[in-house]
Protein backbone atom coordinates (compact mmCIF):
# COMPACT_ATOMS: atom_id res chain seq x y z
CA UNK A 1 0.00 0.00 0.00
CA UNK A 2 1.49 3.35 -0.99
CA UNK A 3 1.33 6.56 1.01
CA UNK A 4 -1.54 8.13 -0.95
CA UNK A 5 -3.68 5.03 -0.49
CA UNK A 6 -2.83 4.92 3.22
CA UNK A 7 -3.79 8.58 3.65
CA UNK A 8 -7.08 8.09 1.82
CA UNK A 9 -7.92 4.86 3.61
CA UNK A 10 -6.92 5.91 7.12
CA UNK A 11 -7.83 9.60 7.01
CA UNK A 12 -9.68 9.27 10.36
CA UNK A 13 -6.33 8.32 11.92
CA UNK A 14 -3.93 10.62 10.07
CA UNK A 15 -5.95 13.85 10.21
CA UNK A 16 -6.58 13.99 14.00
CA UNK A 17 -3.04 12.72 14.65
CA UNK A 18 -1.60 15.49 12.46
CA UNK A 19 -3.71 18.20 14.12
CA UNK A 20 -2.78 17.00 17.61
CA UNK A 21 0.92 16.82 16.66
CA UNK A 22 0.83 20.31 15.15
CA UNK A 23 -0.81 21.70 18.30
CA UNK A 24 1.60 19.82 20.51
CA UNK A 25 4.72 21.13 18.80
CA UNK A 26 3.27 24.63 18.46
CA UNK A 27 2.74 24.58 22.23
CA UNK A 28 6.38 23.58 22.71
CA UNK A 29 7.45 26.32 20.30
CA UNK A 30 5.42 28.85 22.26
CA UNK A 31 7.16 27.81 25.46
CA UNK A 32 10.63 28.06 23.92
CA UNK A 33 9.87 31.37 22.22
CA UNK A 34 8.32 32.64 25.45
CA UNK A 35 11.72 32.31 27.10
CA UNK A 36 13.07 34.98 24.73
CA UNK A 37 10.08 37.22 23.96
CA UNK A 38 7.85 39.37 26.17
CA UNK A 39 4.25 38.22 26.55
CA UNK A 40 2.91 41.35 24.82
CA UNK A 41 5.46 41.39 22.01
CA UNK A 42 4.29 42.63 18.59
CA UNK A 43 6.41 39.95 16.89
CA UNK A 44 4.27 38.25 14.24
CA UNK A 45 5.68 34.78 14.97
CA UNK A 46 4.85 35.17 18.67
CA UNK A 47 1.34 36.37 17.81
CA UNK A 48 0.87 33.31 15.55
CA UNK A 49 1.90 30.93 18.33
CA UNK A 50 -0.43 32.69 20.76
CA UNK A 51 -3.37 32.72 18.35
CA UNK A 52 -3.03 29.00 17.58
CA UNK A 53 -2.46 27.80 21.13
CA UNK A 54 -4.72 30.12 23.16
CA UNK A 55 -7.88 27.96 22.70
CA UNK A 56 -5.99 24.85 23.82
CA UNK A 57 -4.45 26.68 26.76
CA UNK A 58 -7.91 27.87 27.80
CA UNK A 59 -9.05 24.25 28.08
CA UNK A 60 -6.00 23.18 30.09
CA UNK A 61 -6.18 26.31 32.27
CA UNK A 62 -9.63 25.23 33.42
CA UNK A 63 -8.14 22.13 35.10
CA UNK A 64 -4.93 23.80 36.32
CA UNK A 65 -4.62 25.78 39.56
CA UNK A 66 -4.90 29.55 39.00
CA UNK A 67 -1.53 30.22 40.65
CA UNK A 68 0.34 28.24 37.97
CA UNK A 69 2.61 30.41 35.81
CA UNK A 70 1.67 30.56 32.10
CA UNK A 71 4.90 28.87 30.96
CA UNK A 72 4.12 25.84 33.13
CA UNK A 73 0.61 25.65 31.66
CA UNK A 74 2.18 25.64 28.17
CA UNK A 75 4.40 22.70 29.17
CA UNK A 76 1.48 20.86 30.76
CA UNK A 77 -0.46 21.46 27.54
CA UNK A 78 2.35 19.85 25.57
CA UNK A 79 2.33 16.82 27.86
CA UNK A 80 -1.48 16.54 27.82
CA UNK A 81 -1.55 16.68 24.01
CA UNK A 82 1.15 14.01 23.86
CA UNK A 83 -0.90 11.67 26.03
CA UNK A 84 -4.08 12.43 24.09
CA UNK A 85 -2.22 11.33 20.94
CA UNK A 86 -1.00 8.15 22.65
CA UNK A 87 -4.51 7.25 23.88
CA UNK A 88 -6.01 8.04 20.46
CA UNK A 89 -3.48 5.82 18.69
CA UNK A 90 -3.85 3.01 21.23
CA UNK A 91 -7.65 3.15 21.01
CA UNK A 92 -7.55 2.80 17.24
CA UNK A 93 -5.05 -0.05 17.51
CA UNK A 94 -7.29 -1.91 19.99
CA UNK A 95 -10.28 -1.37 17.70
CA UNK A 96 -8.16 -2.60 14.77
CA UNK A 97 -8.71 0.68 12.91
CA UNK A 98 -5.14 2.06 12.86
CA UNK A 99 -2.79 1.55 9.93
CA UNK A 100 -0.30 -1.23 10.43
CA UNK A 101 3.04 -2.12 8.90
CA UNK A 102 2.35 -4.00 5.72
CA UNK A 103 -0.77 -1.95 5.03
CA UNK A 104 -3.50 -4.44 5.94
CA UNK A 105 -5.29 -4.71 9.27
CA UNK A 106 -4.58 -7.87 11.23
Q: What is the pLDDT of residues 67-87, one digit of tens each?
A: 999 899 999 999 999 999 999
- Give 9's pLDDT tier (boundaries 50, 70, 90): confident
| Residue ranges of domains in the chain | 3-94
CA 23 to chain centre: 3
Indicate the pTM of the whole model: 0.82
Banded model confidence at residue 105, pLDDT cuts 50, 70, 90: low
Q: Return d(Cα 66, Cα 62) in angstroms, integer.
A: 8
pLDDT for the residue 40: 85
Amino acid sequence: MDIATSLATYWYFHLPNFVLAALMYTMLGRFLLGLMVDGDSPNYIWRFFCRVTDPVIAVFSAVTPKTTPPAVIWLFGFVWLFWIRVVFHYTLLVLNLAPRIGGTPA
